[in-house]
Structure 1
Amino acid sequence: MSHHPAPPGAPRRHARPLAALLAAPLLAALLAPAAHAAEDDAEYPDEDAGLDQTVAPDEENVDGQAILDIGHVDIGPRFVDGEWRVQGRDDSQTPPVWRALTDVAVQVVDAAVQQAPDSQDFAFLDAEPGSELYVIPQTQHPEVVWLGWNTQDPEVMEQVNRGVTLTLHGVEGPGHLAVFLQNGDLGAPEVLWDGDEAGPQELWVDLNTHTHANWVFTEPGIYVVDFEITADLITGETVTDRAPLRFAVGEGTEVADAFAAPTPEATGTPPAAEEPADTGAASDEDDQGSSLPAVLLVVGAAAIALAAAGATVAARGRRARRIAAASHGQNDSDTADTSNASNASNAGDASGGSGS
């Protein structure tokens, strides 16, 4: 098994509670452990050589839309013109080529249909027992695309510190998507990604890892999976890229619709939540609640204006009183000077009169 646990402090997925037995005889063949891939290759010699692969440093990056409905495909990181990118390694041709994930549509043909098992171990599939499921199996099937992921690009292994985080941010589609691993001892499945879970779901992947899992779709139609791959480089820099992986599930689904489906913006950060639309049908209580701040604002502004006007009037009153007081003081001084002069004159006259 090439799936490795996360290092200390790294996010990881947890297995579901252990059940007694795998009650899924119709799934047992295709949901077998990936470790048996080499045995399948003996039966289907024209298929990929299992999980034991080497990625060459000179594998080409190609442009143009591609429908991948058979053969081996891996999601993985690669440096393209020096930039960290999420890509798909298309091993359905020789030599293998790398494609931008936005150029890829994975078609899940009707040969992938199986019946949902009647077991609580598979309750996470959100499927009625016996209902049809579209399964990209963990072990390669000759008529169904074989989808996995790898961290084996030589430049990635040279520049990345220990491993990468593969994050599923969300799934858009008509049904439910679950991705899980099945151990060889008939233990409970280990759920890696559940399309019903809210928020990002992170999976740690060591360097030089090549893994395949079961991808199960409950309904035919178009699915868009929002993937992101993040890593810390040995230089200390963190790199990330985010891109959609499109699926056309069922042969009655037009693959062209998959390419036309809306895709998340590949920004490396989750999309911001949209503001709720104003329908104009808010309740009276909402109207009162929304208008109260405006009323308080108007009342507050009026109070401030009145206070300012009062302060101005008071200041003007104080200034008028100071001017009046100063004028009154000056008049008192002038009166006192006049009185003193008159008294002095009278005193002089009195002195002169007494001396004569």
Structure 2
Amino acid sequence: MSLFPRLGMSLSALLVSVFLVIVGAPSALADPTDPDLAQSVAAHETWSNEASEISVGHVDLGPRLIDGQWRAGLRHDAEGGAVWRDPNQTVLRVSDAAIMTAPDSADYPFLSDVAGKPVHVIPQTQKPNVVWLGWNTQDPAVTATIDRGLTMRVGPVSGPGRAWLFLQSGTFGKPLLLADSGAAPGDVWIDSGTHVHANWAFSAPGAYTATVTFSGTTTAGEAVSATTTLRFAVGDSASASEALAKAAPAEAPAASASQGAAPGAPASQASGNEAASPDASQGGLPDWAFLVIVAVALLSVLVVGALVVVRARRSRAEQAAAIAEADSLLAPLPASRRGDSGEAGPASGSASNSESASAPASTTSSAGTADAPGEGESAGESGLGNGGGEQ
């Protein structure tokens, strides 16, 4: 029986390892040697809560730990140095210079509705006169505190059209869909100390809002998270003030989760709704939950097996007792007892006859009248009656 716990533990470890590999895949597709992604984040960079609009240049979304408080901010490479801005007070302008034609290819099934049509795209590779939005987990306080990395959840998204976030490895690599406004929020695993850029595509101009949450676990085992709202003004004619005033997107009803992912949903999202994730707050199970499930299953098997064994032993004992009782009832009487009962009849009969012969010749009837039977009749009837009484 000791083989089963070891087998269960091995299976659980394998499932956790495979899951971590799958969840970590998006960040692994980014090329860490790309010189455009090489940067250094200082510990005490400025944080600004002023309303602003960014239409060009490099911007990263990422978590920060400031005075013990977790925040999600936009790190903007401004002329005077990097400044972290509150995303909820910042409009990201996606100008008409970002218009591209959506590819009409089987490699982009999630763009099938806009294939061959113009879409606004914040590109994965920097383009002049277009804002360049990525994300990083390079804040020194974050890298010193977080365990392994963080999960970035993108969604829900609200806007006049549909929006997608997808990552492409190399020039000819197939795209990996990370989030789709037409589906449930998408989760992206980001290793600690990582800087990544991806493609943000919008099917129609206008004001968009997107909820983004960074969540993870510290090296001390504490669950932490930071949530913010990204605001986009897509197109030259889109209003920045409308984007700032637009309400944060509402969460989809919980019941929709049971209906499965929509067509074209990211692989990490489709599997994440059914499998475990690095943290329970992300919609899945933590690592220790696998061990608990395996332990409970093994304990249930042991209990059922023990009950079966006890029941089998009890049934055999009851059967043996029943057989023994039946044998005792069917056993023949001893020979001595058979001899005694065989001779008792004649002896009693002789004694009765002798006593009847010496008895008086008169018998009292039930009515109290004495009759005088004949000698032969008196002797015979008296002998049968007494003989029966003796026995």
Q: Aligned partners of 1:36, 1:236: CA distance in 2, in Å?
A: 31
Give the letter aligned to residue 145 of structure 2: Q
> How far off its partner does 1:35 sit?
7.3
Q: Secondary structure at the match of 1:91?
A: strand
Deviations 1:70-100 (A, max 9, x none): 0000000001231111111111333101112
Amino acid at match of 2:210: V
Where do residues 1-356 of structure 1 align in structure 2 (5 Å cutoff)?
Answer: 8-10=18-20, 12=23, 38=35, 50-184=36-170, 186-198=172-184, 200-264=185-249
Bigger mean CA deviation after superposition, 92-101 or 155-164: 92-101
CA shift, 1:130, in A, is 2.4
SS at match of 2:187: strand
In the superposition, relative to structure 1, how do residues 202 and 51 fare at CA in structure 2: closer, same or farther (>3 Å)?
same
Letter in 1 for 2:207: I
Largest Rg, 1 or 2: 2
TM-score by length of 2: 0.56
- Greater alpha carbon shift after TM alignment, 145-154 vs 200-209: 200-209
> Relative contact order (C-alpha < 8 Å, sep 6+): which is higher?
1
Shift of 1:118: 1.7
Matches of 1:231 and 1:36, distance apart in 2: 26
Which structure has more helix as a fraction of its residues? 2
**How far 1:223 moved relative to its partner?**
0.9
Q: Any idea what the Cα deviations from partners look like across 1:167-217, whole Å, max 9, x if unmatched?
A: 12311011111111112251321111122112x321110011000001111
Q: Say which SS state the counterpart of residue 237 (structure 2) adopts.
A: coil
Name the CA distance, whole Å, in 2 between partners of 1:140 and 1:34: 15
CA distance in 2, matches of 1:195, 1:157: 30
TM-score where L is the length of structure 1:
0.62
* Cα displacement (A) at 1:9: 4.0
Unaligned runs of 5+ in 2: 1-15, 256-391
Aligned CA RMSD, in angstroms, stands at: 2.5
Distance 2:108 2:252 in 1: 31
Distance 2:241 2:85 in 1: 18
Q: Distance in 2 between matches of 1:90 and 1:216?
A: 20
CA displacement at 1:63 relative to structure 2:
1.8
Partners of 2:47 and 2:158 lie apart in 1 by: 28
AA in 2 matched with 1:245:
L
